Structure 1
Amino acid sequence: MKTILTLFLLMLLSASYVSASDMIIGGETVYQVVKGDTLEGIGAKLGVKWQRLVQENSLDLNRALKIGLKLRVNNRRIVPKVSDNGLIINIPDRMLYFLKNGRLETAFPVGLGTPLWRGSTKWRTPEGKFKIVNKQKNPPWFVPESIQEEMELEGKPVDIIVPPGPDNPLGRYILRTSIQGIEIHETIWPTSVYQFRSHGCIRVLPEHMEKLFRDIEPEATGEIIYNPVKLAVSKEGRVFLEVHRDIYSKLNDLENETKKLIRKAAVEKKINWQKVNAALKDKSGIAEDVSL
């Protein structure tokens, strides 16, 4: 299992198309199903929608995944242009990027805050710059009052403190940020990664969090951004467009946002508008080549 995930991380990190400011990672590959895999779990590991796995591999949802089955996967994506150093978390992308001196150290899927809970937006992951203010191994969870209230409303036992262990939602590793209540932590619910199901915190798979915890420096900086549309130009001059759902309904017009990015990059004469419109309609979350 670790070998397979390592290969996918290497594939994700291999910048097939890099220019002075644009980086495109990932791409088309094949994933081989292993024991215990589910579609949602594979999507969480690789950063792809499980529904797309079904569509592109003509899977029958009434049949269990067979061990050894080879699935076509495309997780090509654009690294956001925000900073040359630190952590970048793009909410619509559901991805964390860690850069040092302009070099991408790692990138992996994360779980983020639910868009709506009983009509409220209070669990959305906020945007903003931050610092890592604390690193802790095997942390206890001091349950916030707001989550205690939710537990009570849902008829669940109300916890006040959850000690370290297999039932602790914070897992074994936590990075506390300077944004109040927002933490980057391991999760005990792997299929919640690459989903919007948290109370605002950033959930990370165990194999990714262990490495990040080891590599990240105290006082490291980062930023949580909201970019449902990303554009990049490869060193060969190809134009790539990546479109996600406007999950928090913050932008009124993704088409207008796309046109702004195209004008800013001065690539109007290099693109196929039919491909652009198809990407806007599909919102696949995959960096698509929209060049002429």
Structure 2
Amino acid sequence: MSTMIRCCAGLLLLLLLSPSLLAREYPWQPGNHLVGELFHVPARFEDTFHLLGKKHGYGYLELLAANPDIDPWLPGEGTAVLMPGQHVLPHGATQGILINLPEFRLYFFSPEGDSVVTYPIGIGREGWASPTGETQVRYKEANPRWFPPQSIIEDYALRGEHLPRMVPPGPENPLGAYKMNLAMGAYVIHGTNKPFGIGMRVSSGCFRLDNNDIGELFPQVPLGTPVTIVNQPFKLGIHQGALYLEAHTPLDEHGLPTALDRFAAIRDLMSERAELTYGMRLDWARIREVVDAAEGVPVKIGEPLRL
């Protein structure tokens, strides 16, 4: 059996059988900007980034960004693979659900205000961009039926696939076992029958979670829970007195990687978050490295000026 066949067979078996959650829960207090920690995992011979992501709670693209010099399909026995488990929290809401599109992540702040859980998610693919804005959870359903809109039926037809007007609950249902409708058009936070796409641009604009993750999140989210969706490729935060920058590949309004003027965007961000940059000695050479690399991990870029 070839190496690639063994890898694919192992991946399929893990995706079908693994009951593990991709969620990562971190202690948090209002005012904290960073949560979690970075760590390395030694790869086994049969590992791929998809397997490691499924086991440790990360999407494929974020592992790819954090480990640019490692083969994602054959990392190699004993190779130390970085798990990007530290996050600068996106700027904005710190209640309910917060989604940041460029990092393919959903954050859920506990009602008690003492922890945050984060999940890798799939977002809208080319031509089906996920929205941004503020909304709330309008409706929840377990074992949902799927009534695909006409646009999706037509999209399937263009690919030579027939899609019925209603897909019943079960393993063929793209919504998985749970869905949470947003008060924002037809957009939904839901499970999936295709877990391979978690952490990628794969959906028709909705937000796709691993089935085990949505099963954990669903009962914790009451109707009316606020949901904030942002597009923040660059995030700033203070941690232990120093300034950190986390950079992801920017996405345009269509959900595609964009060649925007990243340094103009960083200067604008520094100006907008002046309360964080005031009194800091900034390392602009390091800032350029972080922005160019877009590895999705927090990096220290400034320290307090010493008078």
TM-score, with structure 1 as normaliser: 0.83
**Do 1:141 and 1:170's aligned partners in 2 also have CA atoms closer than 8 Å?**
yes
User: CA 1:38–1:291 in 2, change beyond 3 Å: closer, same or farther?
Assistant: same
Partner residue in 2 for 1:186: 191
Partner residue in 2 for 1:237: 241
Q: Secondary structure of the residue that 1:108 maps to in structure 2?
A: strand
**Distance of 1:101 and 1:60 partners within structure 2:** 38
Partner residue in 2 for 1:90: 100
User: CA 1:229–1:69 in 2, change beyond 3 Å: closer, same or farther?
Assistant: closer
Partner residue in 2 for 1:49: 62
Q: Secondary structure of the residue that 1:92 maps to in structure 2?
A: helix
> Identity percentage over the alignment?
24
Q: Secondary structure of the residue that 1:291 maps to in structure 2?
A: strand
Q: Quote how far apart the aligned CAs of 1:53 are.
A: 6.2
Question: What is the identity, as a one-letter code, of the residue corresponding to 1:244?
Answer: H
User: CA 1:255–1:195 in 2, change beyond 3 Å: closer, same or farther?
Assistant: same
- More displaced 10-residue stretch of structure 1: 267-276 or 205-214: 267-276
**Do 1:41 and 1:191's aligned partners in 2 also have CA atoms closer than 8 Å?**
no
Structure 2, gaps ≥5 residues long:
1-17
Counterpart pick for 2:161 among 149, 156, 180: 156
User: CA 1:65–1:179 in 2, change beyond 3 Å: closer, same or farther?
Assistant: farther
**Do 2:63 and 2:83's aligned partners in 1 also have CA atoms closer than 8 Å?**
no
- More displaced 10-residue stretch of structure 1: 281-290 or 263-272: 263-272
TM-score, with structure 2 as normaliser: 0.79
Partner residue in 2 for 1:125: 130
Partner residue in 2 for 1:272: 283
Question: What is the identity, as a one-letter code, of the residue corresponding to 1:275?
Answer: R
**Distance of 2:263 and 2:148 partners within structure 1:** 41
Q: Quote how far apart the aligned CAs of 1:187 are.
A: 1.2
Q: Secondary structure of the residue that 1:46 maps to in structure 2?
A: coil
**Distance of 1:53 and 1:148 partners within structure 2:** 37
**Do 2:101 and 2:123's aligned partners in 1 also have CA atoms closer than 8 Å?**
yes
Counterpart pick for 2:232 among 227, 248, 253: 227
> Where does 1:1-292 land on structure 2 (aligned, <5 Å)?
5=21, 9-10=24-25, 13-14=26-27, 21-31=31-41, 38-43=48-53, 45-47=57-59, 49-52=62-65, 55=68, 58-59=70-71, 61=73, 63=74, 71-99=81-109, 100=111, 102-114=113-125, 116=126, 121=127, 123-234=128-239, 236-248=240-252, 252-263=260-271, 264=274, 265-267=276-278, 269-291=280-302
Q: Quote how far apart the aligned CAs of 1:104 are.
A: 3.4
Question: What is the identity, as a one-letter code, of the residue corresponding to 1:27?
Answer: E
Partner residue in 1 for 2:6: none
User: CA 1:24–1:53 in 2, change beyond 3 Å: closer, same or farther?
Assistant: closer
- More displaced 10-residue stretch of structure 1: 43-52 or 191-200: 43-52
Question: What is the identity, as a one-letter code, of the residue corresponding to 2:202?
Answer: R
**Do 2:237 and 2:244's aligned partners in 1 also have CA atoms closer than 8 Å?**
yes
**Distance of 2:155 and 2:72 partners within structure 1:** 36
**Distance of 1:268 and 1:154 partners within structure 2:** 56
User: CA 1:171–1:28 in 2, change beyond 3 Å: closer, same or farther?
Assistant: same
**Distance of 1:111 and 1:27 partners within structure 2:** 23
Structure 1, gaps ≥5 residues long:
none
Q: Secondary structure of the residue that 2:102 maps to in structure 1?
A: coil
